[in-house]
Amino acid sequence: MSLESTAYSNPSRILEGEGCRILKTYAPPAPSLYALNQYKRLRPSDRQFIERFVQQAHDYLESPTILDNFGPNHNERRQWRRFILDKYGPEVREYLGQNKLRANTITMFVMSFEMSIDILNRAKIHSPEANRLRSLYAQIPQADLMQYSNLSRVGKMRVVRKLEEVCRGVLNAFPTIN
């Protein structure tokens, strides 16, 4: 069976066949905020935004870390990505887009976190869960994010590991409600 024929069944195997190393982490189930009284007083759109943020923390944890061999050479990486996308199609594109190392993936998570904190502050919610989120947000290595594209692979992996720790904290900040 050729790699092309497996494109729709296993993107990680395809990328490994193309020389990438795929790292995965465990993500606990995302909690539901709807039963928490403090959050019931939020506007529905704000509550939904925070729900999506908590789901985003779960999704980030569940996403792969895809290591390639291009180092800081972004031009070669872009050419390789185009080749891979042309060869294997949209499922591999989606999988590559989930890479924890992608600056866009990190930026979207951090921006959603910041907006969630802003929502909690405007609503004057100071529950233990909300305060835990504030504390977790303060742990994000903002200085490293400002220079992310200039970090070495080791530096970028440190950022990813810290964000994974923050995401676990976000998921653990809320009691599981069945």
3-class SS string, the chain:
CCCHHHCCCCHHHHHHHCCCEEECCCCCCCCCCCCCHHHHCCCHHHHHHHHHHHHHHHHHHHCCEEECCCCCCHHHHHHHHHHHHHHHCHHHHHHHHCCCCCHHHHHHHHHHHHHHHHHHHHCCCCCHHHHHHHHHHHCCCHHHHHCHHHCCHHHHHHHHHHHHHHHHHHHHCCCCCC
Q: Is residue 80, in this structure, part of any structural domain at all?
A: yes
97, HSE (Cβ side, Cα atoms, 13 Å): 9
Pick from 38, 65, 67: nearest CA to 50: 38
Q: Is residue 70, in this structure, part of any structural domain at all?
A: yes
pLDDT of 8 higher than 60: no
List the structure tokens of 54: 């908590």
How far is the CA of 154 from the CAs of 72, 75, 144, 151, 157, in angstroms?
A: 12, 20, 12, 8, 5
Q: Is residue 30, in this structure, part of any structural domain at all?
A: no
Asked if 81 and 96 count as a contact pair (C-beta separation under 8 A), the reply is yes
**pLDDT value, residue 33:** 64
Q: Is residue 159, in this structure, part of any structural domain at all?
A: yes
Q: Is residue 118, in this structure, part of any structural domain at all?
A: yes
pLDDT tens-place string over residues 64-82: 999 988 877 788 888 988 8
Q: Is residue 28, in this structure, part of any structural domain at all?
A: no
pTM: 0.86
Q: Is residue 29, in this structure, part of any structural domain at all?
A: no
| Mean pLDDT over each residue of the chain, to the nearest integer | 87
Q: Is residue 33, in this structure, part of any structural domain at all?
A: no
- The one-letter code for the residue type at 22 is I
Q: Structurally, how many domains does the chain consist of?
A: 1
User: For 73-98, what is the mean pLDDT?
Assistant: 88
Query: Which domain, by its residues, includes 98?
Result: 4-22+43-172
User: For 128-135, what is the mean pLDDT?
Assistant: 92
